[in-house]
A = this chain, B = another copy of it.
């Protein structure tokens, strides 16, 4: 059991309780994949543009390992984790800034390789690189990227309702074998999804399905039943399972850093979903239920069991 009085989830809950009053300029506050802020149109009276903002840090020894990983891939990941949040809102990226804390031992070539990765990812996803901050210290590399984006209809974590279908893109688990570094954020796929069906809630899978389905449940005020047999299991999850003796399903549920999309759609759209080509496989893995039922999984014998949360929490 986790001590909920500590840990990042408890901290974020406390921060949200401190900000409960809201702010006239904020249309989406803390707790979603990105926040949304109103930007006045200067000299144009009451008109406002809406801009999404999200920020993520990746740390040596936690999110990557410079003893093994290429700096170009680390730079790619620093931007891609943020673009994965843009995807989660069904948004379109606009611009990015980066703040890097370099180990003092870095030479210029290493700093450049890091930036090459960041700028390549920004370029592939049509995101303008607009600046940042460079510092150095005697400790490991820390990279923070902040992304601006826009969505005509941002898809929230709170938009699920009981009786919807739950879907995921791609296949889950085993990302530690490489995908966690060099993944493709599902920006285009999310927008195609949002255009084709009526999405309830959406988020990106970063903590692991067993944790993230709970986030949607908590934000939306509903429960969920996941059918274990339907979860698409990545080849890498089977590979890891063969090594460590944990089951492939365990990996698919709990590894985290899949950076695929988890979403809900109305039942009426479920059929359309089946025939949809968004550029990556889409799988229905369960449905939302009343919140009183909690977060459940149907096991191989057809029994409903509470789904244990096994995802990763950095600080607990």
Docked pose: A228 CA to B111 CA in angstroms: 37
A30 within 8 A of B: yes
Contact with B along A13-35 (1 / 0, CB 8 A): 01100110001011011111011
**Chain A 134-150 interface mask (CB, 8 Å, partner B; 1/0):** 11111110101010101
Q: In the complex, what residues of B have CB within 8 A of residue A271's CB? A: none
Partner-B contacts on A (CB < 8 A): 5-6, 8, 10-12, 14-15, 18-19, 23, 25-26, 28-32, 34-35, 37, 39-44, 47-51, 53-57, 59, 61-63, 94-95, 97-102, 104, 106-108, 111-112, 115, 119, 128-140, 142, 144, 146, 148, 150, 152, 314-315
Q: State the oligomeric state as a number of copies.
A: 2
A119 — which chain B residues lie within 8 A by C-beta?
Answer: 18-19
CB < 8 Å neighbour of A133 from B26, B40, B56, B129:
B56
The residue in chain B whose Cβ has the minimal distance to the Cβ of A58 is B135
Specify the chain B residue showing the minimal Cβ separation from A18. Answer: B119
Whether B135 pairs with A35 at a CB distance below 8 angstroms is: no
Contacts of A102 in B (CB 8 A): 315
Given A39-B150, A42-B150, A130-B35, are A47 and B47 also a contact pair (CB < 8 Å)?
A: yes
Q: List 18 A-B contacts (CB under 8 A).
A: A6-B107, A11-B115, A18-B115, A30-B129, A34-B131, A35-B97, A37-B130, A42-B49, A51-B148, A54-B131, A55-B99, A55-B132, A56-B133, A57-B99, A57-B142, A59-B137, A106-B315, A144-B144
A62 touches B315 (CB 8 A): no
Among the listed B28, B50, B115, B133, which residue makes an inter-chain contact with A57, where contact means beta carbons less than 8 Å apart?
B133
Determine the distance from Cα of A132 to Cα of B33 in the docked complex, in whole angstroms: 9
Q: Which of A8, A53, A56 has the most CB of B within 10 A?
A: A53
Known contacts A44-B47, A133-B57: A26-B128 contact under CB 8 Å? yes
Q: Shortest distance in angstroms between A273's beta carbon and chain B's nearest beta carbon?
A: 26
Residue from A40, A47, A107, A146 having most chain B Cβ neighbours under 10 A:
A146
Least Cβ–Cβ distance between A142 and chain B, in angstroms: 5
CB distance from A235 to the nearest CB of B (A): 28
Apart from A8-B136, A57-B100, A139-B140, what are 15 other A-B pairs with CB-CB below 8 Å?
A: A11-B112, A11-B115, A14-B115, A26-B128, A32-B131, A37-B95, A41-B49, A42-B152, A47-B47, A49-B51, A55-B97, A56-B99, A57-B99, A59-B139, A134-B314
